Amino acid sequence: MNKVTIDGITLSLARPVELNLQWVGQEELLMQLLAAWMVIDERDIPFNPRLVGKPGVGKTTLAYAASKRLSRPVYLYQATMDTRPEDLIITPVIGPDGKIQYAASSLVTAMLTGGVLILDEGNRMSEKAWASLAPLLDDRRYVESIVTGLRIPAGRDFRIVVTMNEDSSTFEVPEYIHSRLQPQIYIDFPEADEELVILKENLPFADSGILKYVVNFLQRSHAADELYSVRDGINIARYALKMSAAGAIPPMELLRLSVTRILGNEALHYLD
């Protein structure tokens, strides 16, 4: 279904996303998110959970993994400080024939198709953008399009999850929105054994000694409350391997250089 007509207005639908993301470990967090989406009675409605944590801890990966468990189409909307209410709902566009057409956002598409919407980095949006979602995030479960005059209800299978980077919001999320984004699920940095599994999953071709070295670096930085994430660790190991392949130098000898190229000289403090 690429288009749908509501009250005589035809909307072009967005495409679902297929991401190469694997959630490794921390099964409890996955179950918490799935529980938030459960409906246990015909009078019940799902929660609108928010995933909070430092950048790179896997919030989007967790949201995607949980969405795939539901076997429903997954849509992603990347929030920015420039996101407007109409960007979140319906946008007019000029068609090939020069006439105005209407494009449903990934959010509205998920609402109409019973999909899952991942609203990524939601705390980058302004209050004006959030206000347009207020009726969707309570028991009314609809949005209104100023552009078309349509009121669009969410299908019963529709689910939404919002990710938020801790301490990195461009705008303060208004309290009336916070109260609609519950429960809050906090994602912390993984433990050393989980971090090693994640690195192995992403770099199955890397020597275990390299991965253990990177995990040790990450754990030292976590203890110091640095923002270096497992994503950074993956990039450090990957770049060292690439430089090794290009110059025939053992990758272990290149890890220090790789750390400086990926994170800067200040990160060397956390190496052995």
How does pLDDT run across 146-190, given as a tens digit for each residue? 999 999 999 999 999 999 988 656 788 899 999 999 999 999 988
Sign of CA dihedral 120, 123, 128, 132: positive
pLDDT of residue 22: 81
The string of pLDDT tens digits covering residues 128-150 is 999 999 999 999 999 999 999 99
Q: Which two tokens stand for residue 58?
A: 């896997």
Query: For helices 208-223 and 251-263, what crossing angle results, to 10°?
Result: 40
Query: What's the whole-number average pLDDT of the chain?
Result: 93
- Measured distance CA(148)–CA(9) in Å, rounded: 8
pLDDT of residue 167: 64
**Mean pLDDT in residue range 90-106:** 89
**Mean pLDDT in residue range 225-251:** 93
The string of pLDDT tens digits covering residues 21-36 is 788 768 899 999 999 9
Query: For helices 192-202 and 208-223, what crossing angle results, to 10°?
Result: 130
The string of pLDDT tens digits covering residues 35-48 is 999 999 988 999 99
Amino acid at 95: G
- Measured distance CA(113)–CA(108) in Å, rounded: 9
First to last CA, the chain: 55
Q: Which CATH architecture has domain 3-186?
A: 3-Layer(aba) Sandwich (3.40)
pLDDT of residue 268: 93
Q: pLDDT-derived band of residue 1, with 50, 70 and 90 as boundaries?
A: low
Q: Which two tokens stand for residue 175?
A: 């309290």
**Mean pLDDT in residue range 89-102:** 88
CA angle 163, 166, 167 (to 5 degrees): 135
- Measured distance CA(240)–CA(262) in Å, rounded: 10
Amino acid at 57: V
If 0-12 CB within 10 Å is exposed, 13-18 middle and 19+ buried, where does residue 17 land? middle
User: Kind and range of the H or E element at 34?
Assistant: helix 27-37
